Amino acid sequence: MTAILGISAFYHDSAAALLIDGTLVAAAQEERFTRKKNDASFPARSIAYVLQEAGIKGDDVAYVAFYEKPFIKFERLLETYHTFAPKGFSSFLKAMPLWIKEKLYMKRILKDALQQQGIQAELLFPEHHLSHAASAFYPSPFPEAAILTVDGVGEWATTTIGKGESSQITLLRELRFPHSLGLLYSAFTYYCGFKVNSGEYKLMGLAPYGNPEEAQKYIRIIKERLIDIRDDGSFLLNMKYFDFATGLVMTHNKRWKQLFGVSPRKPESELSPVYIQMAYAIQAVTEEIVLKLATTAKKLTHSDSLVMAGGVALNCVANGKLRESGLFRNIWIQPAAGDAGGAVGAALAVWHLTLEKPRILSEKDKMQGSYLGPSFTDKEVENMIRHFGATARKLEQDTLYKEVSGLISQGKIIGWFQGRMEFGPRALGNRSILADPRNIEMQRKLNLEIKNRESFRPFAPSVLAEDADKYFTLGNTPSPYMLLVAKIKQEHRTTLPADYLKMNYMQKLYTERSTLQAITHVDFSARVQTVSPDTNPKFYELLKHFKQTTGCSVLVNTSFNVRGEPIVCTPEDAYACFIHTGMNHLVIGNWLFSKPDKNN
């Protein structure tokens, strides 16, 4: 037996993943255990979990793979400060003590932390973008593929194009810091009042509220002043407008104010039209660059298949446009495409590239539906029920499906907790909040009464895989990981008012758009999850029963958490979230929970 532990840590989304003889047996993000969103600390709890899941001890681990090379990262930091000197001196003074105290001694820090887990294995450091590339190619079902990785920055690389063939990965093109699509998108995230490294998906959700005609002005400003985009998808940022290389904020705010006419939006303040148009514009520019990069990847590799990873690969709108282009016959995106997935990729890079182990292909991908986290026994659930004095009934499986689908059809909101927790940012039917997509009030209710988040945020649909083409323009493309956006089919849309595009964003939000109003975004798009019985039989059966009850095989599926908190991990987390929100019922395994002393 060869056990390889993969780790990502110390930036954001710390995680651990474990391979046993090349098979991914467990993976989890540290935030789920510590309850600190985007926790960057050493993933001690995640490591303890993956070892427990595999039934091994620390001294059974043969190799530990860290997802990047800290020394090269330090080299980039020094060269950047030297290039921009004397600018950024205050930032330099803040960064250096941390690097000298901690980051330069990363190997020792990791070894000490691992020894506390009983691990004394050989420590290896694949490069950051190689970890991303490995996480995209090796679990994919393709014998060969073009590989596209796009994120903020690793050591030096911000974008790479490669080719995967058999068990080998070859790097073909690389774009280097400070020219970064991920950091450009994050700069707009910051300027529009959202948190960098966690609010980018809010910017993506806000973009469709923009007016295509009005946004052209902002697209033109971006292309003329901020970025020079080449035909092959490579680009140069105009660094006089950005402070992320040496400063303490993302943008040169005075120059951005001159360009766009507004100061950075204060978080939680009103969303004025200019920020909405900026969101539309940067999303459009991002889609253009991703499509050009993919075109170059196609020319370089002549492959019919594309795999993707890196934080920008979570931009499901851009992914949807790429699918619609028909450039590649097959597209597969790592479900944990951000830094957490680097733990998986680092371990796979050691297995296939360092140890030179062959790749064994199958028709399905190797991510096991991304259900790689912990599960809990009936006994543990019963202990939780006794501890909280919870009101719960244990039902037979078929009775549970019938009763829950009936409750959802009546407008009830259900917390749904089953099996192993998902790895990556999406809830895929095991740690989900479920509702009826046909309910006109449901989006508002979920955002304001359950999730406590911005009203403009869209919700995703989960649909029976065999019925997806009835509702969405996905064709035969599966979307098991909720990473592709598709349009709602015409027959499910309602006629819009003539002045729809000129409405403000709140008017657009509350305009009836489709028979599946709760999952139809303002541009008739939806981030689709296709559900099949082989990856999640329980969720599939619930969808089937909801279809039998209502004729509709779609459910609203949003992550089981509230704003500012990670997705729930344990039954205790789930019950606490249920009790403190407007959810009507909670399901854990076969237990159906109701609110205490209330008739729900």
Q: For 472, which DSSP code? A: B
198: CB partners within 8 A, 6+ apart: 12, 37, 38
Q: What is the CA radius of gyration of the chain?
A: 24
Q: Find out whether 176 and 158 touch, Cβ atoms under 8 Å.
A: yes
Regarding whether 588 and 506 lie in a shared domain, the answer is yes
- What is the C-alpha separation between 576 and 557, in angstroms, rounded? 19
- What is the C-alpha separation between 263 and 303, in angstroms, rounded? 45
- Altogether, the residues listed in the chain come to a count of 600
Q: Find out whether 353 and 169 touch, Cβ atoms under 8 Å.
A: yes
- Helix, strand, coil share (%) of the chain residues, nearest 5: 40, 20, 40
Q: What are phi and psi of 462, to 5 degrees?
A: -110, 135
Regarding whether 496 and 463 lie in a shared domain, the answer is yes
- What is the C-alpha separation between 531 and 534, in angstroms, rounded? 9
- What is the C-alpha separation between 263 and 193, in angstroms, rounded? 10
Q: Find out whether 350 and 76 touch, Cβ atoms under 8 Å.
A: no
pLDDT score recorded for residue 600 = 47
Regarding whether 111 and 55 lie in a shared domain, the answer is yes
User: Quick one: which of 455, 453, 418 has its CA closest to 434?
Assistant: 418
pLDDT score recorded for residue 82 = 46
Residue 373 placed within a domain: no
478: CB partners within 8 A, 6+ apart: 465, 530, 532
Q: Write down the residue that tokens 């780790």 correspond to.
A: 7
Cis-peptide, bond into residue 86, ω within 30° of zero? yes
363, with CB counted inside 10 A (0-12, 13-18, 19+), is exposed
Residue 484 placed within a domain: yes
pLDDT score recorded for residue 78 = 60
Residue 12 placed within a domain: yes
Regarding whether 216 and 232 lie in a shared domain, the answer is yes
Residue 137 placed within a domain: no
- What is the C-alpha separation between 416 and 418, in angstroms, rounded? 7
pLDDT score recorded for residue 99 = 56
Q: Find out whether 571 and 384 touch, Cβ atoms under 8 Å.
A: yes
CATH value at residue 430: 3.90.870.20
Residue 37 placed within a domain: yes
Q: What are phi and psi of 32, to 5 degrees?
A: -70, -30
Residue 10 placed within a domain: yes
- What is the C-alpha separation between 418 and 414, in angstroms, rounded? 12
Give me the DSSP letters along 394-461. Answer: E--HHHHHHHHHHHHHTT--EEEE-SSPBSSS---SSEEEEE-TT-TTHHHHIIIIIS---TT---EE
Regarding whether 526 and 444 lie in a shared domain, the answer is yes
Q: Find out whether 577 and 413 touch, Cβ atoms under 8 Å.
A: no
Q: Write down the residue that tokens 């890196």 correspond to.
A: 310
Regarding whether 557 and 423 lie in a shared domain, the answer is yes
Residue 570 placed within a domain: yes
Regarding whether 226 and 104 lie in a shared domain, the answer is no
Torsion, CA 213, CA 217, CA 218, CA 222, rounded to 10: 130
pLDDT score recorded for residue 284 = 98
Regarding whether 323 and 351 lie in a shared domain, the answer is no
Report helix angle 89-101 to 70-84, nearest 10: 160
User: Quick one: which of 233, 245, 238 has its CA closest to 174?
Assistant: 233
User: Quick one: which of 111, 112, 106 has its CA closest to 122?
Assistant: 111
Amino acid at 216: Q
3-state per-residue secondary structure call for 504-520: CHHHHHCCCCECCHHHC
Domain count along the chain: 3
3-state per-residue secondary structure call for 476-540: CCCCCCCCEEEEECHHHECCCCCCHHHCCHHHHHCCCCECCHHHCCCCCEEEEEEECCCCCHHHH
Per-residue pLDDT of the chain (600 residues; tens, 9 = 90+): 999 999 999 888 999 999 999 999 999 999 999 999 999 999 999 999 999 999 999 999 999 999 998 756 656 666 654 455 555 555 555 655 665 556 667 888 899 999 999 999 999 999 999 999 999 999 999 999 999 999 998 888 999 999 999 999 999 999 999 999 999 999 999 999 999 988 999 999 999 999 999 999 999 999 999 999 999 999 999 999 998 876 768 899 999 999 999 999 999 999 999 999 999 999 999 999 999 999 999 999 999 999 999 999 999 999 999 999 999 999 999 999 999 999 999 999 999 999 999 999 998 999 999 999 999 999 999 999 999 999 999 999 999 999 999 999 999 999 999 999 999 999 999 999 999 999 999 999 999 889 988 888 999 999 999 999 999 999 889 999 999 999 999 999 999 999 888 888 888 888 999 999 999 999 999 999 999 999 999 999 999 999 999 999 999 999 999 999 999 999 999 999 999 999 999 999 999 999 986 554
Residue 273 placed within a domain: yes
Regarding whether 191 and 59 lie in a shared domain, the answer is no
**pTM, full prediction:** 0.94
Torsion, CA 378, CA 380, CA 381, CA 382, rounded to 10: 90
32, with CB counted inside 10 A (0-12, 13-18, 19+), is buried
pLDDT score recorded for residue 21 = 98
User: Quick one: which of 391, 390, 404, 397 has its CA closest to 432?
Assistant: 404
First vs last Cα of the chain: how many Å apart?
Answer: 51
Give me the DSSP letters along 543-592. Answer: HHHHHHHHS--EEEEEESS-TTSPPP-SHHHHHHHHHTSS--EEEETTEE
Tally of CB atoms within 10 A around 358: 9
Amino acid at 81: Y
Instruction: List the domain range (segments joined by +) for residue 231.
Output: 176-330
Regarding whether 317 and 440 lie in a shared domain, the answer is no
Regarding whether 441 and 387 lie in a shared domain, the answer is yes
Q: Find out whether 22 and 28 touch, Cβ atoms under 8 Å.
A: no
Q: Find out whether 308 and 137 touch, Cβ atoms under 8 Å.
A: no
CATH value at residue 28: 3.30.420.40
Q: Find out whether 518 and 436 touch, Cβ atoms under 8 Å.
A: yes
Q: Strands 61-66 and 122-124, how do they pair?
A: parallel
Regarding whether 383 and 361 lie in a shared domain, the answer is no
The sign of the torsion formed by the CA atoms of 530, 536, 542, 545 equals: positive
Q: Find out whether 234 and 172 touch, Cβ atoms under 8 Å.
A: no
pLDDT score recorded for residue 75 = 60
316 Cα distance to chain centroid: 9
